[in-house]
Structure 1
Amino acid sequence: MSVLDRLDPPSAPAGGPVPRPEYPRPQVVRDRWLNLNGSWEFEVDPGDSGLERGLRERPLTGTITVPFAPESELSGVENTDFLEAVWYRREVTIPADWAEVGDDAHVLLHFGAVDHDATVWVDGTEVVRHRGGFTPFTADLHGVAAPGETVTVVVRARDHRGIPQARGKQSGLYANKDCHYTRTTGIWQTVWMEPVPGASLRRPRITPDLGARAFDVRVPLTQNRRGHHVVVTVSDAEGVVASESTPAHLDLAPSVRVVLPAERVRPWSTKDPHLYGVEVELHDAAGDVVDAVRSYAGLRSVAIDGKAIRINGEPLFQRLVLDQGYWPESLMTAPSDAALLRDVELGLEAGFNGARLHQKVFEERYLYHADRLGYLVWGEFGDWGAGDFGRKDDHQKPTTSYVAEWLEALERDFSHPSIIGWCPLNETHQLLHDRITQLDDVTRAMFLATKLADPSRPVLDASGYSHRVLETDVWDSHHYEQDPEAFARDMAGLKDGEPWANRYDEGPISLPYRGQPYFCSEYGGIWWNPEEAAEVAGDDRSESWGYGQRVADEEEFHSRFAGLTDALLDDPLMFGYCYTQLTDVFQEQNGVYRFDRGEKLDVDRVRAVQVRPAAFEKGDD
């Protein structure tokens, strides 16, 4: 039996079908929980005047299916206009047996993600406000609601245009255009409740130490009480591997090191994605369990050696694919948990061993599936929206909210073994100036915040274009040259210490390269739509969009894909690449698969190009 077989509690409570019924937080699992997805009252507030008009107090005029955004088909609303503000309302009966967690039971109301600014009231009392459309937040309802009570939850979500806001790939225009897609407003991930005692466990931070055969588990607590202690138990399919405890009253985040016996060590890798079960318990002075969560962890390492990034000490070439995480019927929300799993499987079937999760903080259950299948992941923030894309002057001005939201993403995803690198920003476009700009400040702040939050993984300051942190761990470029010979010539400068760098004719946009590990983190994007009429050719983008000159037929696609990819596989100093992209997305027709995940071309041929050993994997240079 796998340790994951007993990880998830029942998917949804009795009483009818619930959309997205699975437990939403796979690394911090408690048995008691209540899924609040399903039908909510809903109303669009076009002038953001709802508070003045009494929408907080009265029933709303429509309905919506949560957790799907109102722009999506599955929401039942399907309004793709600009939605300046939207309101949600629902009555919730809190299970009476939740009082069994203790006399001081706290009911927690969790939101997986709400785009973009959210305020939540319960029975008329404001319980939480949050800015940022990609990360979770929680309201502690202690003193407002208790087990056995029926309460009214009201949510207002604002999504104003015209201000800097981390939008990712959401279109700033009325319609979709180029590589910008239909907007997402309001609730777009699972809403749920759970009970905890007053002294309880927060999300554990699990750091693997492969060299020491150990897991370091940091356990943040809500309170320190004398006599309490934390117990961490690591298990595998054969049973308990090791267990350690530490007093819980001395440190607000006590740390436990669990060393594994040599004979039970099994590293996590792409070929053997072995996961250990991790149980964390909070005991009182009598030894009784006050609170407990179930989790899991992979024992693996990530290291930098010259220009090499090594996984478990080995030079594994990273064959990544760009994944946008959109679906035609549900936009940024996966229509089902199976759809999240399927995207990982599709990448593996095409010969990729990982993905760059692009311009979006993905649902945590995607990472759960990547952990289980041994799929490498670069975590990224959806930072686009800080200015007019494509201008060369001093235009991009991300705000402090970018740093705050990115820290929330790091906290949520820290313990997932599939994540082997972080990328806070993407394609920041700004010429280097003789002064420090707001973009410089925020780029450095996000880099330093990432290193402080997680010193165990490499950090890429900004993917492609403006590398503005001299000591960034990794360097990269985006290059959509479609001629394989020209592409190979451009990429050849790495051996001379002068790799391809994105720049403008007016001057450089990055600080000098200093010998870091280097990869081409966006290439290809081969424009191919088999259904387009033969007369639609060349650079005509009236029906679809892609990079450079579209191919005439599938045979030309495979020839071009092989030529571009071979140029990177044959470079002994290149540690990986990221091909654009896994699927078509709306008008962007450059995926290996269709938008609906159907077959588009011969995937076996795509896989055959990639599975041969890369030059990087053959030596230690």
Structure 2
Amino acid sequence: MKEATMKAGKTYQRTEYPRPQFQRDAWMNLNGKWKFAFDDENKGEQGRWFDQYTYPSEIIVPFTYETKASGIGEEAFHPYVWYSRTFLIPEEEIGKRTVLRFQASDYITKVWVNGSYIGQHTGGNAAFSFDITKAVDSASENELTVKVEDSQSCVQPRGKQRWINENFGCWYVQNTGIWQTVWLEFLEENSLDHVKITPKVDSNSVVFDYTLHGELPRNSRLETVISFNGKQVKQFTTVLDRSTFHLEVDLAADIHEWKVLHWSPEHPNLYDVKFRLYVDDVLKDEVDSYFGMRKISIKDGKVLLNNVPIYQKLLLDQGYWPDTMLTPPSDEAILEDIDKTLAMGYNGVRKHQKIEDDRFLYWCDKKGLLVWSEMAATYEFSDQAVENFTKEWLDIVQQHYNHPSIITWVPFNESWGVPHIFKDKQQQAFTESIYYLTKSLDAERPVIVNDGWEHTVSDIIALHDYEESGKTLYERYKDMDAILQNKIPHNNHRYAFAEGYQYKGQPIMLTEYGGIAFKDESGWGYGNQVSTEEEFLKRYKETTDAIKAIPEISGYCYTQTTDVQQEINGLLKENREPKIAMEKIKQVNDAT
């Protein structure tokens, strides 16, 4: 077995509450130093490493062993990794349920507590949890052991993680093991599991769908208090006779002359909500949440925000950092990316091939940055790939549903995982099933099926084109009918629709273009590399202006926010240093 060694370097800590959309006071952060081991020969379970084992190294969670921030920084692939640490139950939490939560761990995560097997979870992007109450000892230290199994398989959703031993094209170092916050929550037997919050802008109302845990005693009630900027808007109490129920609440109040405050990029107004569960007048659970009153709809070939057309100016954002890779190093790092995106004149991001940290989405909610949430792709089509993808995607849609900043779901990109979708009826059927499943959970947001290439059913037609000549780009798209009728490929090699599908009046956006890189032998960009700021700005302005000049196109997404490993076409370097004066980018984006 190869041993990992701790390397000295900058210390990163993730101490923030990991799920601000559903926040409690009683929690324990398990990030930080854990014992660690590679298990390349997969001997750990047979050798009972969860029971008695001397781990040879340490790691800083939640950073994967491939990152510098983990203290290891080894990029070679290891399929089995083990973690271990101890924890004490706080005295004030003794007698409550103990729930172990992972915000994300890639890919198969198995858990033991004090040598007892708890369970496993499959998937690298969704959050999951285990009730470990029966396994913990409230009077002494508890040993928590985690094994994570990963692979280079293309049937697991892997996004931009490479599946060979070296980086290639736009695929990067793999992401193995725990990569988001691990934490404990302490709950009474009766508690809130989840509240789905749906704003109804047209009726000035909000819908709450509550799910509670445990068999509810007869004298149970749930209090919901809605406020804005500390001023109470509504308060109501529900006597409980079942564990799931649905309520629609009139939100109109005298806090504003228009009675209701909407959420938008210009005015990211958020209502605060407090949920209190009582049994026999004793408080059993208290959760803080929030929501934004905003509506996404489509009419006459336009995307509407709160019933008004919105021209989307997005950045392709892959969410990588040099020392921490896919894991944001801190709230400050998240805010820097958001603030610089806004400073360059963009109103949103397309989170490319990554389900982002809840803290990122929280700050987008607060700052008013629009988000397209895109699933990590598989790269083969098979029954196993369909099952892996579908299970995890449904979890993600439900977990991130309440974030007002998310305005579009993107389950598929550029035929990845469905390589023969142009003609293959089975692959087409798979994308249709994901579209309708997503709509069954979320009737409000647009769903894009196969962003960039051959669409099947899709609420937006999203095209990719890295043409570097603005004039050529304009000439190509000014005859939009030919593209939409599949008479010509929109980017010289891909058609807008799969066979058997046709344009039905959806909004059209150019959701990847640009990718301009400065001359540098260490990496690549799209098209010819440029030498000067003037050359960059000329090409950026000409291509962006060409897109704006095409009336059928209602938005664009430039590639990309930052350099990522060998892909050096970011507006910012990996360390977030701007390559071009940000105000000059903003001038182009703001120009009409």
One of 508, 529, 534 as aligned partner of 1:518? 508
Q: 1:394-423: CA deviations, max 9, x gaps?
A: 899832111111111112110011111110
2:453, 2:495 within 8 Å by CA — same for their partners in 1? no
Structure 1 residues 566 and 163: CA distance shift in structure 2, 3 A: closer
Do 1:168 and 1:360's aligned partners in 2 also have CA atoms closer than 8 Å? Answer: yes
SS of residue matched to 1:207: strand
Question: How big is the shift at 1:173?
Answer: 2.3
CA, structure 1 residues 240+49, in 2 after alignment: closer, same or farther (shift >3 Å)? Answer: same
Paired residues for 1:59-208 under 5 Å: 59-99=54-94, 105-145=96-136, 147-208=138-199
The answer to whether the Cα contact below 8 Å between 1:356 and 1:578 also exists between their aligned partners in 2 is yes
Give the secondary structure class of the aligned counterpart of 2:479.
helix
Matched residue of 2:134: which SS? coil
Is 1:401 aligned to residue 394 of structure 2?
A: no
1:444 to 419, 428, 432: 432
Q: Is the 8 A contact 2:12 2:330 kept in 1?
A: no
What is the match of residue 14 of structure 1? Answer: none
Counterparts of residues 225-264 of structure 1 (less than 5 Å): 225=216, 226-250=218-242, 252-264=243-255
Amino acid at match of 2:245: P
Which residue does 1:299 correspond to in 2? 293
Deviation at 1:487, TM superposition (A): 0.9
What letter matches 1:29 in structure 2? Q
Aligned-CA RMSD value: 2.1
| Gap runs ≥5 in structure 2 | 1-10
Distance 1:126 1:603, change over 3 A: same
1:474–1:516 Cα contact (<8 Å) kept: yes
AA matched with 1:601: I
TM-score, L = length of structure 2? 0.92
What TM-score do you get using the length of structure 1 for normalisation?
0.88
Please give the per-residue CA displacement for 1:509-554, whole angstroms capped at 9, x wherever unaligned: 453222211101111111224xx3xxxxxxxxx5211112212322
Q: Report sequence identity in percent.
A: 34
Q: Between Structure 1 and Structure 2, how many residues are aligned?
A: 570
Contact 2:59/2:65 (8 A) holds in 1? yes
Q: Which residues of 2 match residues 366-515 of structure 1 at below 5 A?
A: 366-383=360-377, 385-387=378-380, 398-428=385-415, 430-432=419-421, 436-437=425-426, 439-469=427-457, 472-494=458-480, 497-498=484-485, 501=490, 504=493, 509=498, 511-515=501-505
Amino acid at match of 1:367: L
1:428 aligns to what SS in structure 2? coil
- The amino acid that maps onto 1:64 is I
Which AA in structure 2 matches 1:72?
T
**1:342 corresponds to which of 336, 343, 347:** 336
Q: Which amino acid aligns with 1:245?
A: T
Report the secondary structure of 1:449's partner residue: helix
Deviation at 1:266, TM superposition (A): 1.0
Return the alpha-carbon distance in structure 1 between the equivalents of residues 577 and 494 of structure 2.
Answer: 41
CA distance in 2, matches of 1:338, 1:290: 34
CA distance in 2, matches of 1:454, 1:172: 32
Distance 1:162 1:367, change over 3 A: closer
Number of the residue aligned with 1:390: none
Partner of 1:568: 547
Output the CA distance in 2 between the equivalents of 1:146 and 1:195: 14
Q: Work out whether residues 228 and 272 of structure 2, in 8 Å CA contact, stay in contact via their aligned partners in 1.
A: yes
Q: CA, structure 1 residues 421+160, in 2 after alignment: closer, same or farther (shift >3 Å)?
A: same
Aligned to 2:558: 579
Give CA deviations for 1:107-126 in whole Å, capped at 9, x if unaligned: 00001111111111111222
**2:455 touches 2:496 (CA, 8 Å); kept in 1?**
no
Moved segments of 4+, more than 6 Å: 394-397, 505-508
CA distance in 1, matches of 2:534, 2:365: 35
2: CA distance, partners of 1:56 / 1:224: 33
The 1-side partners of 2:103 and 2:203 are apart by 35
Give 1:40 shift.
0.4
> For each residue in 1:108-155, what CA deviation from the matched residue of structure 2 results, as whole angstroms up to 9, or x when unmatched?
000111111111111122212111111111010122225444211111
Q: Tell me if the contact between 1:459 and 1:473 (Cα under 8 Å) persists in the aligned partners.
A: yes
Contact 2:225–2:235 at 8 Å: present in 1 too? yes
- 8 Å contact kept, 1:213–1:259: yes
CA–CA distance in 1 between the matches of 2:321 and 2:421? 37
Alpha-carbon distance change, 475 to 344 in structure 1, aligned in 2, over 3 angstroms: same
Structure 1 residues 127 and 442: alpha-carbon distance in aligned structure 2, compared to 1, 3 A threshold:
farther
Gaps of 5+ in 1: 1-16, 388-393, 533-541, 614-621
Is the contact between residue 453 and residue 494 of structure 2 (CA under 8 Å) also seen in structure 1?
no
Asked if the contact 2:104/2:124 (under 8 Å) is kept, the reply is yes
User: Is contact 1:324-1:358 (8 Å) kept?
Assistant: yes
Distance 2:159 2:405 in 1: 22
